[in-house]
Structure 1
Amino acid sequence: MVDWQVTAVTIYCDAVDDEVTVLVYRDFSTKCTGYGKYSEPRKEILSLLRRKSKQLGRRLECEGTECHRVIQYKEKLLAEETGKGCRGQTGGESGCVY
């Protein structure tokens, strides 16, 4: 069992061209703040997404609960908790970034 209740990271999400916060809870369930905002957007958010999509020349759309950004963060934490991560390592050849 992990020794924390929740951990979070704020990242740039290119799927919606905005910063979102990814939360991982003690049981490794996840939540993304962008999902609530962009998965079923209100009229004004939908208008903003359309405008940004036109400016960027690509479609902006939340990837939902199977978003690779959320999954990557959760897997990183799982690896750290099971001892396969960077905990206690000094970087360098290990590939850990500090």
Structure 2
Amino acid sequence: MTDVSQRISRRISRDFSRDAEGVTELLSTMRLMGSVDHERVQAAVVLAARGQLDRVVDAVDLAETDYRDILAASGLANEDWASRLESEFGSADS
């Protein structure tokens, strides 16, 4: 189980309001292979889902199969991923 950061949690609340708790649970229990930044993958799932619960399930499935695919689908696969993450979710310490 991996905690969801505050900035990801805020975005989940905004994008999924009444389903936020379930989305947070799905993200915190994702099983990812290899050494990967979990927050980056969680953010990728949220971005790919675009506020639609059924897309969250599909995005989590994709991430658990090969997290690189969800990073590519959400625009977080490139070298500028950290600045994009900050642009979409705010700074890590806010």
Q: TM-score range by the shorter chain?
A: under 0.3
Find the structure with the greater CA-based Rg: 1
Q: Normalized per residue, which structure has more helix?
A: 2
TM superposition score normalised by structure 2: 0.24
Q: Which has the higher contact order (CA 8 A, sep 6+)?
A: 2
Q: Normalized per residue, which structure has more strand?
A: 1
